Chains A and B, each alone.
Chain A
């Protein structure tokens, strides 16, 4: 009986994947027809950088698994990667530090993801392009017109809403960020927000938020794919674009617009220090014995239990390391408003203080409980006097 069910189940799954595969193949053919020829030959570029064919195959396997697809999709992932530079991309910068671009483009040992990003067909990118002033403006207008409804709009940085958006003006015509964002995103096939600034506002929107900055989706009321993180992992971005190339649709998103394949579990669920958490082995102070032994960083403020991201799984800089591996707790940078909700960053949550002093929720709780006990004791004595001799 159970066996029968199993094979039934297997048949169903097989059919699902077969349908998905068919959908994928059809879509890739469509792309061949509709999108321009690849601008760069990925394999040439990989060879130049000293990556072998084998490295590329290994990367496709890893990426297929990361996207939670079965191995039969490996050739499709490879094909999508080769077509990566067909996808026209307009990359906008608003209120941010350009750290996300930097993190993607300046790794000292670029991996396949980074090289893939180099092949991306950037029709417009303020940091990287040579044009400036009116010329830059023209480039943007041309790109939006030429690829209307086809290009992906990638946005780095949030939008200040104060003073009618005038805290952020761009270009020779002095348009506000909000204007530019409205104009460009209305013509885009999809809007992908890179980094926590464009996704949720990040540091610009931390209290007291003088410029009233928020993320793109809140600022102009559209739905966006949010590749959250400060900076996010390049894998999460390339993977999302590969998914789009393969299936013509965006991957499943959580309630905050983050792709579920990358942000579906918490840091705490993937963490290599987790056994030490369960065993009550905590680093009490930076550099103590526990720190040397790689114990859990909960008591020095790790926010892994409250943070959805796959950092521990994909890591940074070609999989070399990630914050918790390097010995500092997670600061929760993929979560909305993390500068406020995750503070203090190097202490547990309940040590948040109020009124600029040392008062934490526990101090206040203890004081109130003390007052309550004293209060009822006084009431008891007073009652004893008042109701003396009652029957």
Chain B
């Protein structure tokens, strides 16, 4: 590489050649924020604001150990659903049927366990397969027939509710009692396992970040200053370890029993997050997704199969919707005719957008679903503690989604005004 340095020196990649110091990295970051690249900022501000707000309004209950654990399980289904929607939103498309698809898949799973006596894994695989089939149908109609995704999924939003109704029967619910499924949202990991995982993940994250920093430095590539890398690693580790600590406290209402540990659904979401982030950031498929979302014509000319990419995101979204439906069934111990209907989808889209995924395509990350999912869960949870009437709940949730979409639209305008 050293032979390249004199040649590189005459080109003016100033920011690439010198190792960035913290000050210029921070000012670069600030310039990007001012240009409309808000990233995770709105979600973090919203989290802080909501925690302060609800702690103020309900000091004894909101931050109680039991409620904090409850928040996490409450966030699970919406987060998983939102993670699938991030893929769809990255292309600037929408899937309005993801919520009810999760209901159908949950119903399929419940029926297989209860009526056919199938083991849980068969039921889970079947549910996910149904999700992927639904996604394939949507994807085909959108990418091959070229019906706008808005229309296709609006039609499926109605149609799939009919299927859930047919599967479950009028007004009925199917109870879910399988131990493994119920454990997902209702049982906790052993304390030692929680700590072990938290430490391993923290160390793994630190290792991968520092290794990358070192590699970039040695090869003279563009990178962040080591202080910022370290700060980032530290923040992630502190959040993981503190979260583990809180969830490892005994939160049983009675001193006679112990109830402690990380709910099993949390590592499930963590695994999904790691896989989705890997796919989006590190694979050619992920790169092509962003390209199609940013400029489909450019992607097509670059030889990317836009049709296939468009089809795939709906398959991913509906597949993850199935997982979300399974977790939701676990949390409620049942599947009902209105599972996944109502405000489920609104919550999930809201979560993705609040987390920082753009409705206009091309921008979004898997972690957006986590941040936004937590925001949504806190809103839902807090309003529940306040005993807000149903009408106000609808108004507030709708307002939050509009607010998030408004921030998205304004920062996009800002980007196109400052770009060029």
Q: Do A and B bind each other?
A: no
